[in-house]
Amino acid sequence: MIIFLVSLNFVFAVSCKKDKGIFNLEWQNESLSLTAEICAKYRECADKEWMSIPENLKKFTEGRLEESQCQKRFRESNAYKLIGADPLTIQTTYKECHSHLLKFSCKDLQEGKMETIPSCVSFQKIQSGN
């Protein structure tokens, strides 16, 4: 019975740790800063195309692009929690993808050129849990 309880506690502790991820304050601050820059880039691109967005999607789009919402969504992500791959891999992949995204024009982003960048493709897999 004692072995069962110890095993149960171990499984519970491991599963909780997996859900919470790894606490790394330095990474959390850095990744939120990177995310803010990416959100700003997408807002800049959306501003240029705002008139072409259907009225029924404007509120949804605006909510997603608003900085606090963008950051909130990232705080819930695998990358922020360092879940889904080796933590160093997550950090490196996100930094590389971030660097490429900021160099893209709005047209490049609209055309899906992000899908051609290996670090961005890898990062999307980490975020989706694949």
| Per-run averaged pLDDT (10 residues), the chain, 130 residues | 37 46 95 94 78 62 72 93 96 97 92 94 91
Rounded to whole angstroms, what are the CA distances from 121 to 37, 114, 115, 128?
19, 8, 6, 11
pLDDT for the residue 89: 97
pLDDT for the residue 47: 73
**Contact between 109 and 103 (Cβ < 8 Å):** no
112 half-sphere exposure, CB direction, 13 A CA radius? 2
| Cα–Cα distance measured from residue 120 to residue 99, given in angstroms and rounded to the nearest whole number | 10
Beta strands in 1-130 (DSSP E): none
Question: What residues contact 107, with CB distance under 8 A and at least 6 apart?
Answer: none
pLDDT for the residue 69: 85
pLDDT for the residue 49: 67
pLDDT for the residue 10: 38
pLDDT for the residue 12: 39
| Cα–Cα distance measured from residue 94 to residue 26, given in angstroms and rounded to the nearest whole number | 15
